[in-house]
Structure 1
Amino acid sequence: MCRLEEKDYEILAAALRVKGRFYSLYKETSIPLATAWRRVQRLLQMGYLTHVDGVIDVGVKGLVALAARGDVHAAVELAKRYKTTREAVEYFVKELCQYVEDISFVPAAELSDFLRLFSIADLYRFKDTPAEELVAKLLLDYCQVCVIETESGKYIFGQGYILASYCKICGEKYELFVKCPLYDKFFSSVKKVFIKSGNGRGNEGN
Structure 2
Amino acid sequence: MCRRLEDREVEILRAALASNRFYHVYKSTSIPLATVWRILRRLAERGYLEYHNGRVRITESGLILLALHDDVALRILARKYGVSADVMREYLELVCRRLGEADLPVRSLADTVGLIGVGALRELRGTPVEGLAVDLLFQFCRDCVVEVDGSALILGGGGIVAARCKLCGDGCKKLYPECPHAKVFFRSLKTRFLRATKSSHNADKKT
TM over 0.5: yes
Instruction: Point out 4+ residue stretches in structure 1 off by more than 3 angstroms.
Output: 50-55, 198-206
- For residue 202 of structure 1, report the CA deviation from its aligned partner: 5.9
Identity of aligned residues (%): 35
The superposition leaves residues 22-70 of structure 1 with CA deviations (integer Å, 9 ceiling, x where unpaired) of 111111111111111121122112111234785423222222222223x
Q: Give the conservation status (yes or no) of the 8 Å contact 1:161–1:179.
A: no
Aligned twin of 1:88: 87
1:181 aligns with 2:180: yes
Q: Which structure: larger Rg? A: 2
Q: Give the conservation status (yes or no) of the 8 Å contact 1:167–1:174.
A: yes
Equivalences, count:
203
Pair 1:199–1:10, CA change in 2 (3 A): farther
Q: Give the conservation status (yes or no) of the 8 Å contact 1:68–1:97.
A: no
Q: How far apart, in 2, do the equivalents of 1:153 and 1:13 lie?
A: 40
1:129 aligns with 2:127: yes
- For residue 138 of structure 1, report the CA deviation from its aligned partner: 0.9
Q: How far apart, in 2, do the equivalents of 1:2 and 1:13 lie?
A: 16
Structure 2 residue runs without a partner (length 5+)? none
Q: How far apart, in 1, do the equivalents of 2:120 and 2:36 lie?
A: 39
- For residue 197 of structure 1, report the CA deviation from its aligned partner: 2.5
Aligned twin of 1:10: 11
| Cα RMSD (Å) | 2.2
The letter for the 2-side match of 1:122 is: A
Q: How far apart, in 2, do the equivalents of 1:122 and 1:152 lie?
A: 27
Q: How far apart, in 2, do the equivalents of 1:68 and 1:198 lie?
A: 50
Aligned twin of 1:50: 50
Aligned twin of 2:66: 66
Q: How far apart, in 2, do the equivalents of 1:53 and 1:188 lie?
A: 58
Pair 1:45–1:196, CA change in 2 (3 A): farther
- For residue 145 of structure 1, report the CA deviation from its aligned partner: 0.8
Give 3-state SS (helix, strand or coil) of 1:178's partner.
coil
- For residue 192 of structure 1, report the CA deviation from its aligned partner: 3.2
- TM-score, with structure 1 as normaliser: 0.87
Structure 1 residue runs without a partner (length 5+)? none
Q: How far apart, in 2, do the equivalents of 1:37 and 1:202 lie?
A: 65
